[in-house]
Amino acid sequence: MTLFIGGIKSGKSRNAEKYILKKSQEKPIYLATNEFFDAEMQERVKRHKEQRAEQFVTIEEPLELFKIIKKNNKPVLVECVSMWINNMLYHKRSEVEILHQLHQITELDREIVFVINDVSCSIIAADKLSRDFIDTNGRVAQYLAQNCKTVYNTIAGISVQIK
């Protein structure tokens, strides 16, 4: 298992895609966690889908990542763990549930590449939901970094292996 962590628009997703395509013998699964909340996001997702259509099998699942990964033996790119955390909190799922599902996933013997936003340099948010997201995202990033064999930090499109 591999983790790509970096700021928003750091290039981590593009580098994670290249990484899993290089390592895979077959067409990997692109497990997209985004939920559509507005027209701009729908258009953005549509463009991204079209860009990767030939290289990945796209499965959209905003909440139940373990069920999707468990039933598929192909390599999986989970894009993006931070959006998944956002979805889970929005749907009133607890951090315990989030970490339990991740534990189940990391117990599987699969080629999985996770992408997560680094929010460790952000300010303390003014509202509770944002603070809960930042705290949970940070703890999840730490959990994944501890449980992934390889970890890359991405800045300005450059991914550097840190584990």
- Residue 125 has a pLDDT of 83
- Residue 36 has a pLDDT of 67
Q: Which CATH class is domain 2-161?
A: alpha beta
Retrieve residue 123's tokens: 């300010």
Mean pLDDT of 80-91: 95
Cross-strand partners of 112: 76
Would you kindly state where each structural domain of the chain is located, as residue ranges?
Answer: 2-161
| DSSP alpha helix (H) spans, 61-158 | 65-70, 81-90, 95-106, 128-147
- Rounded-to-integer distance, Cα 124 and Cα 43, Å: 31
- The tens digit of pLDDT for each residue in 5-46 reads 999 999 999 999 999 999 999 999 999 998 867 777 777 777
The beta strands (E) that lie in the chain are given as 2-6, 29-32, 57-60, 76-79, 112-117, 150-155, 158-161
pTM surpassing 0.85? yes
Please, are residues 120 and 137 in contact by the beta-carbon 8 Å criterion? Answer: no
- The tens digit of pLDDT for each residue in 106-115 reads 999 999 999 9
Please report which helix (H) or strand (E) contains residue 9, including its range: none
- The tens digit of pLDDT for each residue in 38-85 reads 777 777 777 777 777 689 999 999 999 999 999 999 999 999 999 999
